[in-house]
Structure 1
Amino acid sequence: MTLELYLDLVSPPCRTIYIFAKMNNIHFNYFAIDVLKGHHHSKEFEAISILRKVPVLREGSFILAESVAILLYLTRKYSTSIYWYPPDMHIQGTIDEYMAWQHKGMHIIMQKTLWAKLLIPMITGQELPKEKMDDILTEVQTNIQLFCDHFLKDKPFLTGKIICLADLMAAMEMMQPVGANYNIFLGKPKLSAWRLRVEETVGSRLFKEAHEKLLNLRKWDISILHPHVKEKILSMLHNITN
């Protein structure tokens, strides 16, 4: 039965799954979904996932549409290297804690930074008011510090000396602002060293491949923006500025 992955590599969860599958030599058919073009609103995609969001895993009639569930499924189904999600319950608990926190604590604010600093101005022609942007960047810095103090501490990786699922997920999220030319690693030697260890473990070639679309997003042709996506962007701009 063929494994299918539906991914948009601008998305941190999608990059996490893509890199994880590649690193563990998991054979899969890759379907590139361009969210800015509205591929996730097509009838074909909705027939696969009524949630209309990426990532999506499909194996025959079996479908998963949440990144954490997909990653844990891949570790079990394909018996990936034990260090990603070790059997030790305390280590699993540490990984689970990060994965439970990361959507609210990391994903939302990192994604908001990409939208606020790059996509909203690029698509609408409107810069966010300085006080609104300052609020966003303050939250970014607060949550990064929380990540360092509570999760990373003085360890090479989140669970010790070896990379785990949580490290890969966190690094992908923190690359979002970099796509908007806001390097959150500058002036943070401990965080920068951790990110470099993640990249070295992944391999520079695969890391670069997975981030190519994100880092070239400023060159994206906004004339092919899907109407549903533009409506969402305008709504997001309204919510941020009001």
Structure 2
Amino acid sequence: MAQLKYYYDLMSQPSRAVYIFLKANKIPFQDKPVALRKGEHFSEDFKKLNPMSKVPFVDDNGFILTESVAILKYLCSKYKVKDHWYPQSDVKKVARVDEYLNWQHTNTRLNAALVFQHLLILPKMTGKGVNENQLNKFKKGVKETVSSLDRYYLNGKPYLCGDDISIADILGACELMQLRAVHEEHLYTENPTVLAWMGRVREKLNPEFDSAHKFIERTRDVYPHIKANL
């Protein structure tokens, strides 16, 4: 049987989530790193595999699957991982996970990603300063997201969707960790509930969690001026 091929860049939040899941569950895969910063995802060879020109994606013996949520669900089903990751045996538990997975696209993912982009990616691409109005809009969005994580999703539970970790927790934590690269982690660390949850997720997933986030810590060290200029 051909081994699963995984195409990713660890600077991408969803890429890290799938990478950590694969490692944590000891699912064998062929490493296929893609350097987004070099534009490798726009090459003709890449587009032949994935016309979307995005990561992550998997190639499972010719079956190409994009989108991190779809990939994680597929891996849960194919490799029959422990039920807590995506508890399909319980209709209500799996509905809770799906609830977060659908909500996160325009909340955790959108807001944290755009804070990162407005502080680092867009200024580098355009040569212009930070658009403070847009940045403040998305920082406010992160704060509202963190409040929802605290009051609705966690709400006295150790993990977003219940008593054990799920794919929702990996995705959520990876999105918030992106804020560390631009010195904006205070947007979630100031909330004790969310900070404690992040700690539990990290502890549960280490050493894979820290290993996958080395690029984030490196970026943080390379761009200390981002914090100084705010």
Q: Secondary structure at the match of 2:189?
A: coil
8 Å CA contact retained: 2:149, 2:194: no
Match of 2:200 in 1: 197
1:160 aligns with 2:162: yes
Q: CA deviation at 1:123?
A: 4.4
Counterparts of 1:59 and 1:6, CA distance in 2: 11
* TM-score, normalised relative to structure 1: 0.86
CA RMSD of aligned residues (A): 1.7
Could you tell me which residue of structure 1 aligns to residue 188 of structure 2?
A: 185
Tell me if the contact between 2:183 and 2:220 (Cα under 8 Å) persists in the aligned partners: no
Q: Secondary structure at the match of 1:154?
A: coil
Give the length in aligned residue pairs.
220
Higher relative CO (Cα under 8 Å, sequence separation at least 6) belongs to 1
> Partner of 2:5: helix, strand, or coil?
strand
Shift of 1:160: 2.1
Q: Which runs of 5 or more residues in structure 2 are unaligned? A: 223-230
C-alpha separation in 2, matches of 1:128 and 1:91: 42
Q: Which residue of 2 aligns with 1:76?
A: 77
Alignment of 1:202-217 (within 5 A): 202-203=205-206, 205-217=207-219
Equivalent residue for 1:56?
A: 57
Q: Which amino acid aligns with 1:186?
A: T
Contact 1:7 1:32 in 2 (8 A): yes
Shift of 1:215: 2.4
Distance change in 2, residues 1:219/1:189 (3 Å): closer
Correspondence for 1:147? 149
Whether contact under 8 Å (1:113, 1:176) holds in the other structure is no
- State the SS of the aligned residue for 1:185: helix
CA contact (8 A) 2:146 2:188 kept: no
Q: Is the 8 A contact 1:2 1:59 kept in 2?
A: yes
Does structure 2 conserve the Cα–Cα contact (< 8 Å) formed by 1:14 and 1:55?
A: yes
Per-residue deviation, 1:218: 5.4
Q: Displacement, 1:122? A: 3.9
5+ residue gaps, structure 1, are 221-242
User: 2:180·2:220 contact (CA, 8 Å) conserved in 1?
Assistant: no
Shift of the alpha carbon at 1:144?
1.5
SS class of match (2:117): helix
Q: Indicate the percent of aligned positions where both proteins have the same amino acid.
A: 33
Provide closer, same or farther for how the CA distance between residues 36 and 218 of structure 1 changes in structure 2, counting only shifts above 3 A.
farther
Aligned to 1:16: 17
Distance 1:23 1:29 in 2: 15
Aligned with residue 104 of structure 2, among 102, 123, 129? 102
Whether the 8 Å contact between 1:12 and 1:176 is mirrored in structure 2 is yes
Distance of 1:48 and 1:100 partners within structure 2:
26
